[in-house]
């Protein structure tokens, strides 16, 4: 499966879970909301029921007081309650609209109360009509004495008690449901949150591990390629990173092929240079011999100018041989396998100095290291630099210095002289083969020595530079691998 698809899937799963979580929470909070609204309503219903009940009781007390004392003051609360009670009934009916049981009870309370009002009103109006004492007496004896009103009152009180009891019971149930909904909401939220965190963490770890492991493999391959080790990376996942790995493998294979090709061509070139320079020496010897024969056989017949010309030929042949030898040395560098052995650079340098430096030259040699390295090539480098220091050194008081400075991975050697120096414009040119700043015919100047030094150092990824000014001597500074 594609990497982008996997990442997309992980995120989609988390988004879906979040949506489901939000939906469940929303539904549960709706329930919580409903239950809280119900509880608020229920409190109003109970409060209203209490007010209604109290007003009815106030009316009943006022009625009884009036009958017993005949005091009109008692009728005041009676009438005010009479006015207030219908409004309270109306309010209560609206609140219990959705509860049939309540509605039924309220209706029966209303009927009973209305019956009681009729009874009470008839007694009050009979008592007020003083002339009609017989009526009042009859009503008082047949109804009041027989506790007609009291019975109605009791029935109303019972209904109110039932009403409240039922409301309290429903409220209790709702309260339990409310707390259950709240705890359910909390539980679901925690579960969903846990699942989302787990899936998020697992998919993140999975993707990160999947990617980082494979990227590390690719980095490793790139590192190997940079070290000339053209390996391949294995990746069969068939996604975007696999395409990258495939490109890396193709690059590695192409580089490998090109480098092998280059090495082959280089070897062929070295071989060619070696064979050509070797074969050139024989005809050169032949030419030299012919000039010798001419001189010997035609000694008397040669004109002085011809003799002078014939004398130039051996000089030119010697220079030609010098160039060919230099070319052979140059080609030999690549042919000879590097051989590591312990080298005491101090001894190596002293031997060279003893061999090629004239006795009148002042020599100063610093602390030079001892380490395992390719002795032959290091010797070639020092020989060329020291012989140049002699060749181009000061004519009057020649001085040559050889020193070393240790770096973490390299030794940095310096070969300096107090000779003729080099113009900065030629500091790069002198390392190119056959480049010489001297007269072209100078026998000992072929322009190959520094080219050999440069080739040896390039082959092992080391460097060389020159610090010099005309007339102020030269310092050749080169690095050499410790390993």
CA–centroid distance for 78 within its chain: 85
Site stretch for ligand ADP (CB under 6 A), options 77-85, 123-131, 254-262, 446-454: 446-454
Whole-number minimum distance, CB 393 to ligand ADP, in Å?
7
437 binds ligand ADP per the rule CB under 6 A:
yes
Whole-number minimum distance, CB 245 to ligand ADP, in Å?
47
Q: 368: closest CA among 387, 390, 353, 356?
A: 353
Helix (H, G, I), strand (E, B) or coil at 470: coil
Pick the closer one to ligand ADP by CB: 248 or 420.
420
Whole-number minimum distance, CB 312 to ligand ADP, in Å?
21
Pick the closer one to ligand ADP by CB: 263 or 423.
423
447 binds ligand ADP per the rule CB under 6 A:
yes
Pick the closer one to ligand ADP by CB: 252 or 445.
445
Which two three-digit tokens encode residue 296?
Answer: 């010997």
Q: Which residues pair with 341 in a beta bridge?
A: 373
Secondary structure string (H, E, C) spanning 214-263 = HHHHHHHHHHHHHCCCCCCCCCCCCCHHHHHHHHHHHHHHHHHHHHHHHH
Site stretch for ligand ADP (CB under 6 A), options 92-100, 208-216, 287-295, 414-422: 414-422
Site stretch for ligand ADP (CB under 6 A), options 159-167, 176-184, 372-380, 413-421: 413-421
Helix (H, G, I), strand (E, B) or coil at 475: strand
430 binds ligand ADP per the rule CB under 6 A:
yes
Pick the closer one to ligand ADP by CB: 42 or 388.
388
What residue has token string 């009973």? 112
Whole-number minimum distance, CB 469 to ligand ADP, in Å?
11
Draw the binding track, 383-412, toward ligand ADP (x: CB under 6 A; -: no contact): -x---xx-xx--------------------
Q: 17: closest CA among 185, 207, 189?
A: 189
CA–centroid distance for 256 within its chain: 32
Distance separating alpha carbons of residues 66 and 79, to the nearest angstrom: 12
Distance separating alpha carbons of residues 304 and 296, to the nearest angstrom: 15
Per-residue CA distances from 236 to 253, 261, 477 (Å): 18, 30, 51
Residue of 13, 436, 462, 477 that binds ligand ADP (CB under 6 A): 436
361 binds ligand ADP per the rule CB under 6 A:
no
Whole-number minimum distance, CB 418 to ligand ADP, in Å?
10
Contacts of 411 (CB under 8 A, 6+ apart): 345, 369, 371, 404, 405, 479, 480, 482
Residue of 55, 113, 174, 419 that binds ligand ADP (CB under 6 A): 419
Task: Kindly state the helix (H) or strand (E) to which residue 479 belongs, with its residue range.
Answer: strand 474-481
Draw the binding track, 91-130, toward ligand ADP (x: CB under 6 A; -: no contact): ----------------------------------------
Residue of 445, 456, 457, 478 that binds ligand ADP (CB under 6 A): 445
Distance separating alpha carbons of residues 183 and 189, to the nearest angstrom: 10
Binding site for ligand ADP (CB under 6 A): 384, 388-389, 391-392, 417, 419-422, 430, 435-438, 445-451, 474
């Amino acid at each position: 499966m594609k990497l982008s698809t996997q990442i997309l899937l992980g995120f989609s799963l988390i988004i879906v879970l979040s949506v489901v979580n939000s939906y469940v929470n929303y539904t549960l909070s709706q329930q919580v909301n409903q239950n809280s609204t119900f509880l608020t309503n229920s409190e109003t219903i109970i409060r209203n029921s209490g007010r209604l009940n109290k007003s009815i009781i106030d009316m009943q007390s006022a009625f009884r007081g009036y009958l017993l004392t005949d005091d009109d003051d008692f009728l005041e609360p009676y009438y005010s309650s009479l006015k207030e009670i219908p409004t309270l009934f109306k309010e209560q009916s609206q609140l219990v609209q959705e509860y049939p049981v309540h509605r039924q009870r309220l209706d029966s309370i209303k009927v009973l109360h209305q019956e009681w009002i009729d009874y009470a009103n008839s007694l009050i109006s009979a008592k007020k009509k003083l002339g009609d004492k017989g009526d009042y007496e009859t009503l008082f004896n047949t109804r009041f004495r027989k506790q007609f009103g009291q019975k109605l009152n009791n029935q109303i009180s019972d209904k109110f008690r039932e009403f409240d009891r039922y409301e309290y019971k429903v409220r209790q149930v709702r309260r339990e449901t409310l707390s259950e909904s709240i705890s359910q909401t909390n539980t679901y939220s925690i579960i969903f949150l846990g699942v989302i965190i787990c899936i998020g963490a697992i998919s993140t770890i999975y993707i990160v591990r999947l990617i980082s492991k494979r990227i590390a493999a690719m980095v490793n391959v790139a590192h190997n390629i940079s070290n000339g080790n053209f390996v391949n990376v294995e990746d069969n996942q068939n996604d975007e990173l696999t395409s990258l790995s495939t490109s890396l493998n193709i690059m590695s294979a192409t580089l490998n092929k090109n480098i092998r090709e280059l090495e082959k061509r280089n070897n062929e070139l070295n071989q060619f240079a070696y064979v050509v320079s070797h074969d050139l020496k024989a005809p050169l010897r032949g030419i030299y011999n012919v000039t010798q024969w001419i001189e010997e056989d035609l000694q008397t017949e040669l004109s002085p100018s011809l003799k002078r010309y014939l004398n130039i030929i051996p000089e030119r042949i010697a220079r030609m041989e010098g160039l060919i030898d230099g070319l052979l040395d140059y080609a030999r560098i690549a042919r000879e396998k590097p051989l590591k052995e312990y080298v005491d650079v101090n001894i190596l340098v002293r031997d060279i100095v003893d061999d090629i430096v004239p006795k009148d030259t002042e020599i100063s040699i610093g602390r030079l290291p001892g380490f395992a390295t390719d002795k032959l090539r290091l010797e070639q480098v020092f020989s060329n630099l020291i012989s140049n220091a002699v060749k181009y050194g000061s004519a009057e008081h020649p001085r040559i210095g050889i020193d070393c400075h240790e770096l973490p991975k390299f030794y940095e050697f310096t070969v300096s002289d107090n000779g003729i120096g080099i113009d900065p414009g030629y500091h790069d040119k002198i390392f190119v083969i056959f480049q010489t700043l001297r007269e072209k015919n100078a026998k000992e100047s072929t322009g190959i020595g520094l080219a050999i030094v440069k080739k040896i150092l390039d082959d092992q990824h080391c460097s060389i530079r020159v610090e010099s000014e005309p007339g102020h001597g030269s310092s050749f500074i080169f690095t050499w691998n410790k390993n």
